[in-house]
């Protein structure tokens, strides 16, 4: 019998407009830790969803222990020995560790719970894999690292041979990461196979036996640990530049508009999300934040655009601290925001386009007369002007926002934020899910803002976008800007390396 | 104080508390599975009638009780289908059932007993023990059973899981909808039992008198725990008994005693009397796979 | 082409109330049949009591007035996503406060009338304020807190009317307050209707509360669709996330709409207190608050929808009396039918919504 636990061959999965997985082949041996590495949108998540039964491949085969098989749903996956530890835990907070582990798989006689057998079995698993946890404690009282342990115990209890970990160290402290890796090594010895998804190359090089790099839906290369260096992997991850010629005129940057000083923020799970983030943006420049998602970019944007509980640091707009200001005050002061999830945050979908275009400024003249009366004539007029100026494709200004295409919805948001004439524009993933035409248009708008002496903070997981537009680039990793470069000195390789942890010598 | 009066008070209080306590147990099952149930009042209005009807029709109080339980289940199933399968808002469904229930008793009474506001006298009753309806004593073993089921059986574990984190339960292979149906149906069954001890001798229009809502207050005050809810119901019931028996002797107006359950529940919610956390998924319809 | 499509969906949305109503009528006829009454008789009885002449029709509208106000109160809160189930308690308290203003204040008629209306609104808003504050400061869900406050209101008013505020002995043995001064009583509008040729007899109550209802309806409409605060109400009801992003102060909006809802709810009892009875008693019709929840839902939370929905409910109530009067079907059946109708409507609504969603998905693909 071979040692191959899992083989995925020529897996292809196509969604409208994008080939998430394009002929991906991947295998996992018993007693191996195999890391899966790639940027956001590269296709790792889709591949794992297929493995876990949450998606069906369009073509390709999955072999478990050399037998072709199909995985219909997550319960099927568990039954076949595949266990997944998600980023967001699936635990019942008030239940004890023991209850969480046995839920759905309980031992009982005529309906009455019997816990002696499970306890014995779990203790054995805990010993074999180095996962001690107090079974009686309620799960919501455990630190994140131990909660993760409960998730691992859950899948081991159900007999998982193949364990998939999706960015498991994102919420862990360094010590908890060490503990986790100890566990990995012990599970290795038990003959289990581990798939480890991460973009933190330090960790990957620490623990993995083999590393597979995925980019744009294809496997670029699978290397054994001995052949891998950070630089090499980073290069494979970011690849060759995509030619997107954007004409940029030289603009002399002006006064400092935004200053972020040493922000510290703890997330809801208690872990450090922002660990001393600092940056400045001047009028007439685009500052691009590069980095893999999940390194604190969203929280940074949140801290700038709305009141966020901070453990330390300050944010200054034209020299004034804005920490105590609510959203309306920040907007009135000139902060514009293109949100990263337009449907969830940016638009009232059932409302008309005209209403959406005034959203955020709807409380001020000329849209209201005397602070309460809506001047619908002015609203419509402004809407019509804006639609024309920004070339938003819509039957009329009264069309509900949900009827517009994704690209036009995003254009509407950009149009709105631009026409309120902000002094600082925060753009978060501004061209996500947007067609090429709208994308070019949005780029030109951002450049025009820069031209008009606005300060633009651009956050994007798309490295090409950052490189095309930015004057200065900051790489965000683990809640800090660890590297700052001028556009002239920035290369894909340098940035790619920093995005994944970088060389310590190049930190700020 | 006269010993016989004290004994009288103890037993009478149990009898008065019991319907609320049964209903509160039902509420606990329903809400623990994640379904807010404001239709308890309506369920009880129906079962209070059907127990009289059933007893007379089958000439036995036990058959009457069975009919009451079945009718409670039917009413609760209507609520369950609407709110679980069709994801109708749980409040609206509860309101609709309460409205329906007002009419059911009166309509059936008119047709069967030819009087709209009250029924015939039902001579088939539970034996009287210590001066009260002996079915009240069933409260104690039934509370114990409910506690056991909720905390010591697989069914109870899964039911509670569904009320806290239905998504997690779903990924572990538990049928969320089925569990919720069970929770809601049990509340209907409990309201059937409540009818057994309310006043099976005769149905009068409006006899439930808001007990369904007091049961909700008891559930909250008891922090969604079966024993806690029953103790809370006993507290409210005994307070009311005290008022009835000693009304002329105490300076507090009776209506303030009536307010007591609700005020206490509010205080619990505010956190003044200890933190109360309802089941996390309470009131939110579950959409599998969305 | 696109305009046509939108109408198709809108039409399907109207399907639910219509089908629900028809389904419940079918059930009504079936039950009537079981009791031994032919469907034809039943329908004739209903129509005879509700629409056969101006007087009957006017009665339907008269009954619809408090139902409309109730639905309006609930609807405006729903628009911001606030579930004000406490309408029941708010109208009891509001009615009491209004009645007190009518009993103990001595003012000329032209002033007294608006004052009692405002007093009733203040009472309702006051009773809504505690659950409202609990919601925005402690995050306590308003459904539970308002249900508790409903029952507290009942007990409180029971105490007050039996005790300190009792006017017993003046009128009858029924617990009630003293009589409301004539300067605060709602006069009738029947002579206006008669003047324009609609023969509405004097025992049908089309009184000043009709004016109050119409004014409230118009004010709510203006608030929701012409005022900035109303825009923010609708925004918060659509998406709290987007509203927050746009700088809207969500908690202020929720508090404000809760208070407005309570204020409108305070007016529900004005017809009964100021026009029909002339005093306040806790026997005033209860259940109107809960009816309002159903009425608002069926009227899709819009002032215009609530008008039709309230008339529908009033029609049903009167239909019940008609059946009782002219057939052997008891009035109580209407409660069953109303409750059933609500359930039918919301279930059909869900089915239609799922169907529309599936259609839209197919079109997008």
Instruction: Quickly state the pLDDT bin for A435 (edges 50, 70, 90).
Output: confident
Instruction: Quickly state the pLDDT bin for B289 (edges 50, 70, 90).
Output: very low
Assigned domain for A278 exists: yes
In this structure, of A331-345, B49-63, B247-261, B273-287, the range with the lowest mean pLDDT score is B273-287
* Chain C contact probe: residue of B36, B43, B95, B275 with most C CBs at under 10 A: B95
pLDDT at residue number B275? 61
Nearest residue of C to residue B259, measured between CA atoms: C152
Q: Are C149 and B262 within 8 A, CB to CB? A: yes
Instruction: Quickly state the pLDDT bin for A245 (edges 50, 70, 90).
Output: low
Domain of A86 in residue numbering reads as 4-238
- Which of C355, C272, A99 is closest to B156 using CA atoms? A99
The larger pLDDT score, comparing residue C218 to residue B242, is at C218
Identify the contact set of chain C against chain A, taking CB-CB distances under 8 A: 2-3, 226-229, 231-232, 234-235, 238-239, 241-242, 244-249
CATH number, domain at A99? 3.40.50.300
Assigned domain for A246 exists: no
- Same domain membership, residue A313 and residue A380: no
Nearest residue of B to residue C286, measured between CA atoms: B99
List CB contacts (< 8 A) between B166 and chain A: none
- The 10s digit of each residue's pLDDT in B113-143 is 888 888 888 888 888 888 888 899 999 999 9
Asked if pLDDT for residue B179 goes beyond 80, the answer is yes
C-alpha span between B30 and B16 (Å, rounded)? 23
* 3-class DSSP assignment, residue A56: coil
Of the partner residues B152, B164, B169, the one whose CB lies closest to the CB of residue A113: B152
Instruction: Quickly state the pLDDT bin for A411 (edges 50, 70, 90).
Output: very high
C-alpha span between A275 and A264 (Å, rounded)? 5
* Average pLDDT taken over every residue of chain B: 89
Mean pLDDT, range A375-394, rounded to an integer: 91
> Residues with Cβ < 8 Å from C176, sequence gap 6 or more?
C161, C166, C167, C168, C279, C280, C281, C283
Give the number of other Cβ atoms within 10 Å of residue C170's Cβ.
Answer: 11
Instruction: Quickly state the pLDDT bin for B290 (edges 50, 70, 90).
Output: very low
Q: Return the percentage of chain C with pLDDT > 90, whole number.
A: 42
pLDDT at residue number A233? 85
Asked if pLDDT for residue A163 goes beyond 80, the answer is yes
In angstroms, what is the C-alpha Rg of chain C?
22
How, if at all, do strands A112-113 and A108-109 pair?
A: antiparallel
* Chain B contact probe: residue of C346, C351, C354 with most B CBs at under 10 A: C346
Alpha carbon separation from C193 to A424, C53, C196, C198, C205 (Å, rounded): 63, 14, 5, 5, 12
List CB contacts (< 8 A) between C339 and chain B: 96-101, 103
Mean pLDDT, range A424-441, rounded to an integer: 87
* Average pLDDT taken over every residue of chain A: 88
C-alpha span between B53 and A202 (Å, rounded)? 76
Q: Are B168 and A94 within 8 A, CB to CB? A: no
CA atoms C16, C21, C24, C29: torsion sign = negative
Query: Kind and range of the H or E element at A477?
Result: strand A472-477
Measure C87 CA to nearest chain B CA, in Å: 13
Q: Is the minimum CB–CB distance between B86 and chain C shorter than 8 Å?
A: yes
Chains that touch C (3 or more CB pairs under 8 A): A, B
Residue whose pair of structure tokens reads 């009042």 in the numeric block: B41
List CB contacts (< 8 A) between C244 and chain A: 306, 327
For the ranges A130-139, A335-344, C72-81, C292-301, the one whose mean pLDDT is highest: C72-81
In this structure, of A470-474, B48-52, B97-101, C322-326, the range with the lowest mean pLDDT score is C322-326
Task: Report yes or no: C89 and C154 within 8 Å, Cβ to Cβ.
Answer: yes
What the block records as the tokens of B33 is 């599975």
Among candidate residues A397, A420, A443, the one where a domain is terminated: A420
Tell me the ipTM for this assembly. Answer: 0.86
C-alpha span between A442 and A419 (Å, rounded)? 13
pLDDT at residue number A216? 83
Of the partner residues A104, A108, A112, the one whose CB lies closest to the CB of residue B173: A104
List CB contacts (< 8 A) between B158 and chain A: 103-104
List CB contacts (< 8 A) between B253 and chain C: 159, 163
- Same domain membership, residue A232 and residue A147: yes
What the block records as the tokens of C31 is 């039950």
How many domains are there within chain A? Answer: 3
Measure B36 CA to nearest chain A CA, in Å: 19
Instruction: Quickly state the pLDDT bin for C358 (edges 50, 70, 90).
Output: confident
What the block records as the tokens of A255 is 């006064």
Asked if pLDDT for residue B16 goes beyond 80, the answer is yes
Measure A102 CA to nearest chain C CA, in Å: 32
Identify the contact set of chain A against chain C, taking CB-CB distances under 8 A: 305-306, 326-332, 337, 339, 344-351, 355, 359-360, 362-363, 368, 371-374, 376, 395, 403
Identify the contact set of chain B against chain A, taking CB-CB distances under 8 A: 152-155, 157-158, 160-161, 164-165, 167-169, 171-174, 280
Task: Report yes or no: B240 and B14 within 8 Å, Cβ to Cβ.
Answer: no
Of the partner residues C229, C235, C241, the one whose CB lies closest to the CB of residue A372: C229
- Same domain membership, residue A278 and residue A149: no
* 3-class DSSP assignment, residue B89: coil
Asked if pLDDT for residue A243 goes beyond 60, the answer is no
Asked if pLDDT for residue A328 goes beyond 60, the answer is yes
Of the partner residues C226, C245, C249, the one whose CB lies closest to the CB of residue A339: C245
- The 10s digit of each residue's pLDDT in C75-85 is 999 999 999 99
- Which of C70, C10, C42, C34 is closest to C264 using CA atoms? C70
- Same domain membership, residue A79 and residue A66: yes
Q: Return the percentage of chain A with pLDDT > 90, whole number.
A: 47
Q: Are A111 and B155 within 8 A, CB to CB? A: yes
List CB contacts (< 8 A) between C226 and chain A: 373-374, 376
List CB contacts (< 8 A) between C241 and chain A: 344-345
Residue C186 is classified by DSSP as: P
pLDDT at residue number C196? 78
- The 10s digit of each residue's pLDDT in C24-67 is 888 888 888 888 888 888 888 888 888 888 788 888 999 999 99
C-alpha span between C147 and C129 (Å, rounded)? 14
Measure C292 CA to nearest chain B CA, in Å: 10
Nearest residue of C to residue A400, measured between CA atoms: C6
In this structure, of A30-34, A220-224, A286-290, C163-167, the range with the lowest mean pLDDT score is C163-167
First-last CA distance in chain B: 64
pLDDT at residue number C15? 78
* Average pLDDT taken over every residue of chain C: 86
For chain B, the structural domain boundaries read 18-209
Assigned domain for A244 exists: no
Asked if pLDDT for residue C174 goes beyond 70, the answer is no
Residue positions counted in chain C = 365
For the ranges A6-20, A265-279, A443-457, C194-208, the one whose mean pLDDT is highest: A443-457
Assigned domain for A60 exists: yes
Asked if pLDDT for residue B160 goes beyond 60, the answer is yes
Q: Are B92 and C342 within 8 A, CB to CB? A: yes
CB pairs B-C closer than 8 Å: 143
- The 10s digit of each residue's pLDDT in A453-488 is 899 999 998 888 898 899 999 999 989 999 999 988
- Same domain membership, residue A215 and residue A100: yes
Give the number of other Cβ atoms within 10 Å of residue C283's Cβ.
Answer: 12
pLDDT at residue number C9? 67
Residue positions counted in chain B = 290
- The 10s digit of each residue's pLDDT in C280-294 is 887 766 788 889 999
> Residues with Cβ < 8 Å from A362, sequence gap 6 or more?
A355, A368, A374, C228, C231, C232, C246
In this structure, of A167-171, A320-324, B210-214, C130-134, the range with the lowest mean pLDDT score is A167-171
pLDDT at residue number B276? 62
Mean pLDDT, range A328-340, rounded to an integer: 94
List CB contacts (< 8 A) between C246 and chain A: 327, 331, 359-360, 362
Q: Return the percentage of chain A with pLDDT > 70, whole number.
A: 96
Measure B4 CA to nearest chain C CA, in Å: 31
- Same domain membership, residue A507 and residue A405: no
Asked if pLDDT for residue A498 goes beyond 60, the answer is yes
Nearest residue of B to residue A115, measured between CA atoms: B152
- The 10s digit of each residue's pLDDT in A272-291 is 889 999 999 999 999 999 98
Instruction: Quickly state the pLDDT bin for C1 (edges 50, 70, 90).
Output: very low
* Chain B contact probe: residue of C144, C299, C350 with most B CBs at under 10 A: C144
Of the partner residues A74, A92, A112, the one whose CB lies closest to the CB of residue B152: A112
Q: Is the minimum CB–CB distance between B40 and chain C shorter than 8 Å?
A: no
Measure C240 CA to nearest chain A CA, in Å: 9
List CB contacts (< 8 A) between C159 and chain B: 253-256
What the block records as the tokens of C245 is 């992003």
- Same domain membership, residue A272 and residue A396: no
Instruction: Quickly state the pLDDT bin for A202 (edges 50, 70, 90).
Output: confident
Q: Are A360 and C247 within 8 A, CB to CB? A: yes
Of the partner residues C85, C158, C339, the one whose CB lies closest to the CB of residue B100: C339
Chains that touch B (3 or more CB pairs under 8 A): A, C
pLDDT at residue number B273? 60
* Beta strand ranges found along A101-252 (DSSP E): 108-109, 112-113, 162-166, 193-197, 210-215, 218-224
pLDDT at residue number B13? 92
pLDDT at residue number A506? 35
β-pair partners for A26: A8
pLDDT at residue number A240? 64
pLDDT at residue number A507? 36
Mean pLDDT, range C2-18, rounded to an integer: 66
Instruction: Quickly state the pLDDT bin for A505 (edges 50, 70, 90).
Output: very low
Q: Are B97 and C339 within 8 A, CB to CB? A: yes
Residue A506 is classified by DSSP as: G
Alpha helix (H) ranges present in chain B? 3-32, 40-58, 61-80, 90-113, 139-152, 154-164, 166-171, 176-198, 211-221, 226-246, 254-270
Q: Are C2 and A403 within 8 A, CB to CB? A: yes
Of the partner residues A75, A90, A113, the one whose CB lies closest to the CB of residue B154: A113
Q: Are B172 and A95 within 8 A, CB to CB? A: no
Mean pLDDT, range A16-44, rounded to an integer: 85
Assigned domain for A46 exists: yes
Asked if pLDDT for residue C168 goes beyond 90, the answer is no
Mean pLDDT, range A79-86, rounded to an integer: 90
In this structure, of A65-69, B63-67, C247-251, the range with the lowest mean pLDDT score is A65-69
Q: Are A360 and C246 within 8 A, CB to CB? A: yes
Assigned domain for A497 exists: yes
Residue A483 is classified by DSSP as: E
Give the DSSP per-residue string, C29-92. HHHHHHHT--HHHHHHHHHHHHTSSHHHHHHHHHHHHHHHHHHHHHHHHHHTT---TTHHHHHH
- Same domain membership, residue A99 and residue A72: yes
Residue positions counted in chain A = 508
Q: Are C245 and A346 within 8 A, CB to CB? A: yes
C-alpha span between B272 and B124 (Å, rounded)? 46
Q: Is the minimum CB–CB distance between C343 and chain B shorter than 8 Å?
A: yes
Asked if pLDDT for residue B19 goes beyond 50, the answer is yes
Mean pLDDT, range A101-118, rounded to an integer: 89
Assigned domain for A386 exists: yes
Task: Report yes or no: A476 and A290 within 8 Å, Cβ to Cβ.
Answer: yes
């Amino acid at each position: 019998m071979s040692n191959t636990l899992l083989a995925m061959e020529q897996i292809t999965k196509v969604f409208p407009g994008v080939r998430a997985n394009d002929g991906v082949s991947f295998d996992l041996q018993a007693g191996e830790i195999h890391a899966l590495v790639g940027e956001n949108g590269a296709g790792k998540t889709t591949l794992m969803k297929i493995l876990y039964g949450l998606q069906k491949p369009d073509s390709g085969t999955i072999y478990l222990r050399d037998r072709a098989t199909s995985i219909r749903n997550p319960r099927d996956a568990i039954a076949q020995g595949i266990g997944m530890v998600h980023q967001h835990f699936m635990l019942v907070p008030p239940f004890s560790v023991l209850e969480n582990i046995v839920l759905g798989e309980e031992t009982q006689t005529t309906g009455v719970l019997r816990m002696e057998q499970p306890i014995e079995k779990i203790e054995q698993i805990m010993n074999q894999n180095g996962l001690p946890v107090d079974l009686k404690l309620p799960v919501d009282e455990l630190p994140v690292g131990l909660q993760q342990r409960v998730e691992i115990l859950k899948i081991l209890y159900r007999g998982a041979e193949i364990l998939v970990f999706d960015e498991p160290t994102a919420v862990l402290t360094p010590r908890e990461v060490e503990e986790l890796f100890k566990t990995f090594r012990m599970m290795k010895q038990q003959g289990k196979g581990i798939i480890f998804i991460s973009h933190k190359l330090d960790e990957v090089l620490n623990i993995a036996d083999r590393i597979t790099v995925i980019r744009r839906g294809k496997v670029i290369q699978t290397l054994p640990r001995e052949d891998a260096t950070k630089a090499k992997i980073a290069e494979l991850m970011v690849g060759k530049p995509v030619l997107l010629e954007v004409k940029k005129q030289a603009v002399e940057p002006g006064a400092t508009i935004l200053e972020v000083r040493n922000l510290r923020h703890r997330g809801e799970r208690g872990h450090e999300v922002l660990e001393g983030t600092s940056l400045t943006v001047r009028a007439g420049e685009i500052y691009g934040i590069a980095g893999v998602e999940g390194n604190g970019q969203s929280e940074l944007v949140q801290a700038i655009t709305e009141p966020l509980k901070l453990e330390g640091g300050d944010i200054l707009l034209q020299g004034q601290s804005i920490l105590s200001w609510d959203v309306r005050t920040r907007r009135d002061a000139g902060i514009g925001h293109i949100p990263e999830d337009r449907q969830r945050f940016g638009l009232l979908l059932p409302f008309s386009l005209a209403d959406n275009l005034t959203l955020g400024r709807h409380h001020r003249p000329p849209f209201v007369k005397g602070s309460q009366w809506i001047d619908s004539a002015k609203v419509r007029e402004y809407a019509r002007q804006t639609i024309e100026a920004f070339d938003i494709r819509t039957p009329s200004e009264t069309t509900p926002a949900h009827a517009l295409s994704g690209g036009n919805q995003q254009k509407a948001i950009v149009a709105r934020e631009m026409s309120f004439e902000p002094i600082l524009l925060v753009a978060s993933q501004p061209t996500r899910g947007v067609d090429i035409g709208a994308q070019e248009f949005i780029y030109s708008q951002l450049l025009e803002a820069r031209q008009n002496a606005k300060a633009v903070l651009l956050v994007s997981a798309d490295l090409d976008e950052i490189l095309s537009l930015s004057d200065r680039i900051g790489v965000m990793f683990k809640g800090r800007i660890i590297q700052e470069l001028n556009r002239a000195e920035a290369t894909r390789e340098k940035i790619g390396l920093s995005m994944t942890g970088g060389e310590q010598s190049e930190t700020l | 104080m006269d010993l016989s009066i004290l004994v009288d008070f103890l037993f009478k209080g149990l009898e008065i508390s019991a319907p609320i306590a049964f209903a509160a147990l039902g509420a606990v099952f329903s809400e623990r599975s994640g379904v807010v149930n404001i239709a308890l009042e309506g369920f009880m209005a129906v079962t209070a009638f059907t127990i009289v009807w059933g007893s007379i029709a089958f000439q036995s109080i036990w058959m009457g009780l069975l009919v009451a339980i079945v009718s409670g289940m039917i009413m609760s199933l209507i609520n369950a289908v609407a709110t679980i399968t069709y994801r109708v808002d749980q409040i609206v469904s509860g309101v609709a059932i309460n409205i329906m229930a007002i009419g059911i008793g009166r309509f059936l009474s008119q047709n069967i007993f030819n009087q709209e506001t009250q029924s015939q006298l039902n001579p088939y009753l539970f034996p009287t023990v210590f001066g009260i309806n002996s079915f009240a004593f069933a409260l104690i073993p039934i509370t114990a059973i409910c506690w056991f089921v909720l905390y010591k059986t697989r069914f109870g574990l899964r039911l509670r899981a569904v009320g806290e984190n239905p998504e997690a339960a779903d990924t572990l292979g538990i049928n969320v909808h089925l569990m919720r149906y069970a929770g809601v149906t049990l509340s209907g069954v409990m309201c059937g039992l409540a009818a057994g001890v309310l006043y099976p001798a005769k149905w009068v229009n409006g006899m439930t008198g808001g007990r369904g809502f007091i049961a909700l207050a008891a559930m909250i005050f008891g922090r969604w725990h079966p024993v806690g809810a029953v103790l809370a119901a006993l507290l409210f019931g005994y307070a009311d008994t005290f008022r009835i028996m000693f009304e002329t002797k105490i300076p507090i107006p009776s209506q303030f005693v009536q307010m007591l359950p609700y005020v206490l529940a509010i205080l619990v919610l505010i956190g003044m009397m200890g933190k109360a956390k309802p089941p996390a998924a309470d009131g939110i319809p579950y959409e599998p796979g969305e | 082409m696109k305009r046509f499509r939108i109408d198709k969906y809108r039409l399907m949305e109207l399907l639910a109330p219509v089908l629900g109503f028809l389904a419940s009528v079918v059930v009504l006829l079936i039950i009537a049949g079981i009791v031994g009454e032919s469907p034809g008789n039943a329908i004739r009885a209903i129509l005879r009591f509700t629409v056969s002449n101006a007087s009957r029709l006017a009665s339907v509208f008269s009954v619809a007035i408090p139902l409309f106000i109730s639905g309006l109160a609930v609807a405006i809160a729903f628009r911001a996503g606030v579930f004000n189930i406490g309408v029941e308690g708010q109208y009891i308290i509001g009615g009491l406060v209004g009645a007190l203003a009518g009993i103990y204040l001595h003012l000329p008629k032209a002033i007294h009338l608006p004052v009692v209306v405002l007093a009733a609104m203040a009472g309702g808003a006051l009773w809504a304020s505690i659950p409202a504050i609990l919601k925005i400061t402690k995050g306590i869900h308003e459904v539970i807190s308002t249900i508790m406050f409903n029952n507290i209101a009942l007990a409180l008013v029971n105490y007050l009317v039996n005790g300190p505020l009792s006017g017993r002995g003046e009128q009858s043995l029924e617990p009630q307050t003293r009589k409301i001064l004539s300067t605060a009583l709602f006069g009738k509008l029947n002579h206006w209707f008669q003047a324009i040729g609609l023969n509405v007899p004097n025992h049908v109550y089309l009184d000043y509360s009709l004016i109050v209802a119409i004014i409230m309806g118009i004010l709510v409409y203006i608030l929701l669709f012409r005022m900035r605060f109303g825009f923010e109400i609708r925004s918060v009801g659509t998406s709290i996330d987007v509203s927050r992003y746009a700088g809207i102060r969500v908690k202020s909006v929720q508090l404000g709409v809760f208070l407005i809802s309570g204020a409108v709810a305070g007016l529900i009892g004005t017809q009964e207190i100021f026009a029909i009875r002339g005093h306040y008693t806790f026997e005033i019709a209860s259940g109107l608050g809960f009816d309002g929840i159903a009425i608002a839902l069926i009227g899709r939370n819009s002032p215009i929808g609530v008008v039709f929905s309230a008339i529908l409910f009033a029609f049903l109530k009167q239909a019940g009396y008609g059946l009782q009067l002219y057939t052997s079907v008891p009035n109580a059946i209407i409660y069953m039918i109303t409750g059933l109708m609500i359930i039918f409507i919301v279930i059909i609504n869900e089915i239609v919504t799922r169907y529309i969603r599936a259609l839209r998905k197919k079109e997008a693909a």
